Amino acid sequence: MSTSNFDNPNPLSNLEQWEDDILRRYPEPGPEKKKEEFRNYDSPEIDTVREFYRLNHKYQTYDNVLAKKERFLKFDQQQMPWWSAMEYLNTLVDDSDPDISLDQLQHLLQTAEAIRADGHPDWFVLTGFIHDLGKVLCLFGEPQWNVVGDTFPVGCKFSDKIVFPEFFADNPDSHDPRYNTKYGVYSHRCGLDKVHMSWGHDEYLYHITKDYLPEPALYMIRYHSFYSQHREKAYSHLLNDHDEKLFGWVDKFNPYDLYSKSPKAPVVSELKPYYEDLISKYLPETVSL
């Protein structure tokens, strides 16, 4: 599928606009804002978010996911040391974000350092450090709607708990009897290992790391954007007992990803030796992207 067929496939001015929208929908617990102040989708500043999800929901089809797995899971785009890959991710830095001017590497270090400060296992810290590496898909020509965004199963009916569910009316799978029923191509409590998720940085990085990290880390990576399940419980009919147990780790991870941003930049040179040692403990010397 060529991105040339799409009207403005990159409507967000920066990828963090999607994460900012998540904070709008799922604010950090506390007295600062009332719940009704969020989920306000009528304000002009989120028009780009609406357009992003219009494209995402229209084109994230079962066939799209299979095609992207066929293309990208050959891992023949780039090969480099892990730290170099993290620096490569920094080319996604966007200067237009008025709220925070940290680059991708610094955001990942903030996430990982918050996890580390709370005394979690080192593999958990490493997961926080690398969890957004899959965003390099943007550097390989993928449109934003195929890289970020809330994730969800394809091959079955789209839940009305997914943000902007009305946009699925333009998705051809919504009108295909193979895919538009509650279970679609799946079965009751079949387990998420049998379910195809919408394509993006979560799914891509899961496949890069699945042979190296503990299973809880893989759940954090693969499902940290699956908000319609771990926040709304919309797809519990597809989860098995093992999934439900492991989703506890996703719940532990997400607050660090969403709420650890700070304008104070980490000192990368001071932290680099620790993270290079951590990478060498769990991951191969180079990563194939």
Q: What is the domain count for the chain?
A: 1
**Assign residue 75 a region: left if phi > 0, alpha if psi is -120 to 50, beta otherwise?**
left
At residue 187, the pLDDT reads: 98
Which is it for strands 286-288 and 79-81: parallel, antiparallel or unpaired?
antiparallel
At residue 265, the pLDDT reads: 83
| Secondary structure (DSSP) of 221-272 | HHHTT-HHHHTT-TTTTT--HHHHHHHHHHHHHHHHHHH---SSPP-HHHHH
Which residue has tokens 């066929």? 70
DSSP 79: E
Nearest CA to 176 out of 200, 158, 162 is that of 158
Q: What is the pLDDT of residues 255-285, one digit of tens each?
A: 998 877 777 788 999 999 999 999 999 999 9
**Assign residue 36 a region: left if phi > 0, alpha if psi is -120 to 50, beta otherwise?**
alpha
At residue 237, the pLDDT reads: 98
Q: What is the pLDDT of residues 98-132, one digit of tens each?
A: 344 567 888 899 999 999 999 999 999 999 999 99
H helical segments located in the chain: 16-25, 47-59, 62-72, 82-89, 104-117, 122-130, 201-209, 215-223, 227-230, 241-259, 268-282
Q: What is the pLDDT of residues 204-219, one digit of tens each?
A: 999 999 999 999 999 9
Residue 220: which residues within 8 A CB-CB, separation 6 or more? 124, 127, 131, 249, 250, 252, 253
Q: Please give the residue range of the domain that contains residue 220.
A: 3-288
At residue 5, the pLDDT reads: 54
Which residues in the chain show pLDDT less than 50?
Answer: 1-4, 31-41, 44, 94-100
At residue 122, the pLDDT reads: 98
